[in-house]
Amino acid sequence: MSKQASMAPKPTKAADSAVKDEPVEHKTDASSNSKKVHKFHEKAKEVFATHNVDQVHFTDDGTAFIHPQHARMHAENLKDNVIHIVNREEV
């Protein structure tokens, strides 16, 4: 084994967990009877009324974001880091 190969940095557990804990985005299904989805749609109506955007991104705690990167950053600190996307035409 060469010296270069043995000196290569080994991946850390922190680096591995950062990949696993990245927020996951998924679109909400308007036909779903979920109370959470219904709340997201009601909140999205308010956002669409005041902002010229085509999508609203919700973190699992119900916080709405018009910028997806802000939703991802917020979701990283939540137990359930799923991001729900509501499109303007759904509401």
Mean pLDDT of 6-12: 49
> Which contacts of 66-72 are long-range, i.e. CB under 8 A and separated by 24 or more positions?
68/25, 71/23, 72/22, 72/23, 72/25
Question: Which two structure tokens, joined as six digits, stand for 6?
Answer: 């043995």
Q: Would you say residue 15 has pLDDT above 50?
A: no
The residue type at 85 = I
Q: In the structure, what pLDDT confidence band is assigned to residue 86 with cuts at 50, 70 and 90?
A: very high
> Which contacts of 45-52 are long-range, i.e. CB under 8 A and separated by 24 or more positions?
45/91, 48/88, 48/91
Q: 21 phi and psi, to 5 degrees?
A: -90, 10
Q: Would you say residue 27 has pLDDT above 90?
A: no
User: Average model confidence (pLDDT) for the chain?
Assistant: 79
Handedness of CA 34, 71, 77, 21 (dihedral sign): positive
Q: Would you say residue 45 has pLDDT above 70?
A: yes
Q: Would you say residue 18 has pLDDT above 60?
A: no
